[in-house]
A and B are shown apart, each in its own frame.
Chain A
């Protein structure tokens, strides 16, 4: 028994913990919605828990809210069916009804967001009439204890609060001969309802405002980090005022916020050195290796011999990104006799194209074995912008030696070209 009570106690504690977590989560969720939206709860039914003398009513039958707020109707635990059905709504607004609300038969709750301003009246179809919730009599009937209600929706107060600007910084400052400085700042909106930052600008020495950009690329939050590249070449040596301001989506323009201490334009310090580099174009080159099939012993039947040469290498160091291709052609094998070139095949598996250094590797154009010929067979291709670097590649070769081939040494002339053109 003690064991059971112990676990019951622990379960009870866990339930409380879960409830607390749920409550915190709920609060967090509410809090994560629009900072200005409010949720008002109305209890529906007999608040005394039911019984023959209970009164069917809405416990906060007349409320005033702000546009965008939510009203939630929760069923009282009275064991009865109720609902919330509109009687009067502002022009252009849709009627609404909750359907049955019963604490014993979910749903027991109904929520609605009121965006349009005006007066809404409603009633319970089980315990009142629509005619008892007109604009003319709803207040009197609420006072009389009928199950009718009223929601007055007021316009939200306009956002008249301008954003503020902080953390204005410029780099480098002093400029030390730089042609421009990077200007950054943080712009934050406030007030109710809370808006978002729509734009930001800077000005130098009270000159014309110049637009800045959001660091994250888009002005869409209540706080934005902003930046601009400010040219300073035309400024005179000495101190200058740089200011930043933001504008929110309600059109409120913030006050100028100045860079503390100003921008100090200075020449390059004596003895200072600058790092610079001039990148010179290299060449488009290709290195090919011979293909050796070695010794082939005639067997009285056609024989297909594989060969994989040492690694070939293509290198595009031109720095133009204009693309290139490698082509292959061959004669037949000659020696004691002839082995025609159509018996000589090549393929270039893409997996055997390895980037030593550079961007996108060239693509194989011959994934399955194809016969060589006097025509140029495109083996590799780098399209514009790709193939800038060094790439090892290893083609696979295959030679079919016909049964009728005369014994002896054979050689084919293979031409490998790296091409630059359209």
Chain B
């Protein structure tokens, strides 16, 4: 697949034509009726499929087309942007929000428009390019095209929400070369807040391709008696990403000491497992808060400063190290003085 400036130019012309064809509709900020928007491959040349998938060498560029569909009864101005692929809780591809920094493969995607106007019941075809950096290593890279309708505000006053409705389609690039699937499970915790009884396990994909898994979650008493067994289904986990796998508990276990075990088998037959002791007390609390906060940062890591959170643990460790150094110097000085 080679870069082709002519294709890009013709695609932009096509986009312009598509937008001109829709010139009859009025610019609408928000829908009166239900929003029904979709985005999917225009099948030129990505072929049949529900999302875009390419095998491209490092340094290669290609063009393709997405079709944006407005099945609703109101003309809409839709926001269009490239988003990094993220792994949803329990697996499956989802997409970062528009405000999240484009540091991943979403920066490989480019399009000349950031808004698309689509008439009620209409479609618009948008050309775009995919450019793989020259230093990209082998593996899967997942980004996506996302369209977003104007925010739908709730009733004024009281406690409520503003809903942002989006539709996203994945753009998956496979750079040829060695591949590895590697799921890593880390600990199991239990959330027992009222109405919420589920076990939770942080999951990381340390490989370089998309993988997923199925397996079994088992809770046993400390002396080995099985309390229950549940199937575990983990959807797609993107390479280098982290997520959580949650298993609903069929009932609220009695207070006591238990062992929670999770075993997951990847499509390549490799297995990942974890076994954790769980002490269930009488108080119904969310025992997963700390784990979730730490693990959902994924590649950014626990010490990341990019999310704006105060790195108290890092600061604490640095402070402790500083105190140890000061104490050490003082001790050394005193010993020298004594000598």
Contacts and interface: CB of A to CB of B under 8 A. Distances in A.
Given A287-B34, A417-B168, A342 B235 contact: no
Nearest to A339: B159
A365 interface: yes
Determine chain A's interface SS by DSSP, over half rule: strand
Interface residues of A, number: 64
A414 B163 contact: yes
A94 interface: no
B71 A368 contact: no
Contact of B296 (A296, A365, A373, A417): A373
Given A414-B163, A420-B51, A381 B196 contact: no
A96 interface: no
A359 to B, nearest CB: 16
A229 B159 CA distance: 66
B204 interface: no
Interface string B41-66: 00000001111000000000000000
Most chain A beta-carbon contacts within 10 A, residue among B89, B93, B296: B89
A367 interface: yes
A419 B154 contact: no
Interface string B25-38: 00000000011111
Determine chain B's interface SS by DSSP, over half rule: strand
B82 to A, nearest CB: 14
B69 A283 contact: yes
B165 A290 contact: no
Contacts, number: 224
Contacts of B89: 365, 370, 375-378
Interface string A318-340: 10101111010110010000010
B95 A399 contact: no
Interface residues of B, number: 67
Contact of A381 (B71, B235, B246): B235
A327 B94 contact: yes
B90 interface: yes
A92 interface: no
A327 B87 CA distance: 10
B161 A420 contact: no
A283 B66 CA distance: 12
Contacts of A376: 86-89, 94-95
B193 to A, nearest CB: 8
A378 B88 contact: yes
Contacts of A421: 50-51, 85, 92-93, 142, 144, 168-170, 172, 236
Most chain A beta-carbon contacts within 10 A, residue among B34, B88, B146, B159: B159
Contacts of A304: 194
Interface of A: 281-296, 304-305, 313, 315, 317-318, 320, 322-325, 327, 329-330, 333, 339, 342, 345, 347, 365, 367-371, 373, 375-378, 381, 398-399, 401, 409-422
Interface of B: 34-38, 40, 48-51, 69, 71, 85-95, 97, 142, 144, 146, 151-170, 172, 191, 193-198, 210, 235-236, 243-244, 246, 248-249, 286, 289, 292, 296
